[in-house]
Structure 1
Amino acid sequence: MREKEIFKMNGFLGAGVVLLLGLAAVYLFRQFVLYENPATIIGFVVLALIIVVLLSGFTIIQPNQAKVFTLFGSYLGVIKKEGFWFSVPLSLRKNVSLRVLNFNSDKLKVNDLEGNPIEIAAVVVYKVVDSAKAVFDVEDYRGFVHTQSETGVRHIASQYPYDNFNNDYEISLRQHSDEVGDELTKDLQKRLHVAGVEIIEARIMHLAYSSEIASSMLQRQQAKAVLAARKVIVDGAVLMVKSAIEQLSIEGVVDLDDEKKAQMVNNLMVALVSDKGNQPIVNTGSIY
């Protein structure tokens, strides 16, 4: 089923035609009252029926609204332009909103790529672009969007890990929300094309580990942060020790052999890397 335009004419022009027919019907009725001519009353009845039928052809289209027309079970077409219109009489019309809509999905409990249970929810922004598909190809396009969106969120969540702890994956749910949102938008567009819906944006609005593993995963994240911080400290300490030894050698402050250099490196590294305060020990030499 594809969207197509139906016959329509300006409603005010149609109202003028109906008004002329009404005046003609009044004239025939008056002639029947004055002269009691059976032909005039028949003409009056025919015109009255025609007027009643024509009145059912008027419709008003609001901005960002479409009306889908059917006649005796046959699809006729759609009017999307706002205004006052006259179209096919006796037809049934169904309103379809063309405004931008959005909804927040429920918090879903799914397993990520590594099998960890997580909670995830998304916000989906969409609009109807083909009102005929929205009316005829699915039972309820809004309910269809909600159901398929939850299915898409579950599918995308299972394709990526929650976090990229070991750099084994290029994309993770927590660190690459924009990339994941783009993939979710593409996935939903494929699912909802049949309903005549365009996905404008889909983004993850809630992401967390499930309650049963949240504590252990938090410890894992903290341990990773500590390791990253210690690496920075060690790298800085190595540069400082190297610079100190080179500076002492260049300026000739002290002549250090390999054993003393190793001892100095050890002492400096302990002092710089340790996260606790250190008590310096001053070597005053032997008293004998």
Structure 2
Amino acid sequence: VFNVDNYFEFLSIQCDSAARNIVRLYPYDASEEEGEKSLRGSCQEIAESLKEEVQKKVDMAGLEILEARITHLSYAPEIAAAMLQRQQASAIIAARQMIVEGAVGMVEMALAKLSDRNIVNLDEERKATMVSNLLVVLCANKDPQPIVNTGSIY
């Protein structure tokens, strides 16, 4: 009736075209600090954009789009591998930041308690050495290997 012979085929082509367009406009994943929309993190907004895009394409056929969503999205293997690597790197960085923040807090607490309880009085150089050693132990991937010092290092 409206310039279209096969509505199913027409709608399928228009949906495919709109989905390719939307996927091109947004990154797959974005970090929370960036505040930008992503295919993974902004499902509702992306679905609305997709619906509007499809609606524009099918208006001439007299069709009304009630809802549109991306239900499956696959990338070429080399792109998927790069995306996974980026995602893993972001997770590692976030975990490291959390570890460092916790370690710094523990070092501050240790120095404060040693000072408050008068267990030991450390000069600035020895505090720096202690901070360095504690941060290495607290932030390392492996368990520490204790070393017994038989002589004086000072």
Q: Which residue of 2 aligns with 1:275?
A: 141
Question: CA-to-partner distance for each residue in 1:61-108, whole Å, 9 max, x for gaps?
Answer: xxxxxxxxxxxxxxxxxxxxxxxxxxxxxxxxxxxxxxxxxxxxxxxx
1:152–1:187 Cα contact (<8 Å) kept: yes
User: 1: distance between equivalents of 2:83 and 2:44?
Assistant: 23
Alignment of 1:103-252 (within 5 A): 135-164=1-30, 170-252=36-118
Structure 2: distance between partners of 1:164 and 1:262:
38
Task: Indicate how the Cα distance of structure 1 residues 189 and 136 shifts in structure 2: closer, same or farther if over 3 A, else same.
Answer: closer
State the AA in 2 paired with 1:192.
V
For residues 216 and 149 of structure 1, do their structure 2 counterparts lie closer, same or farther at Cα, with a shift above 3 Å needed?
A: closer
Give ranges in structure 1 of 5+ residues lacking alignment: 1-134
8 Å contact from structure 2 (residues 2, 60) kept in 1: no
Structure exhibiting the larger radius of gyration computed from Cα positions:
1
* Aligned 8 A contact 1:174 1:207 in 2: no
Residue 273 (structure 1) shift:
0.2
Q: Contact conserved, 1:185 with 1:201, CA < 8 A, in 2?
A: yes
Shift of 1:226: 1.4
Superposition misfits of 4+ residues, deviation over 4 angstroms? 165-169, 282-286
User: What is the letter of the counterpart of residue 177 of structure 1?
Assistant: C
Higher strand share: 1
Higher helix share: 2
Q: Are the aligned partners of 1:248 and 1:254 in contact in 2 as well (CA < 8 Å)?
A: yes
C-alpha offsets along residues 209-239 of structure 1, whole Å, 9 cap, x if unaligned?
Answer: 3123333332232222212211111111011
Unaligned runs of 5+ in 2: none
| Cα separation, 2, equivalents of 1:284 and 1:254 | 20
How much does 1:142 deviate?
2.4
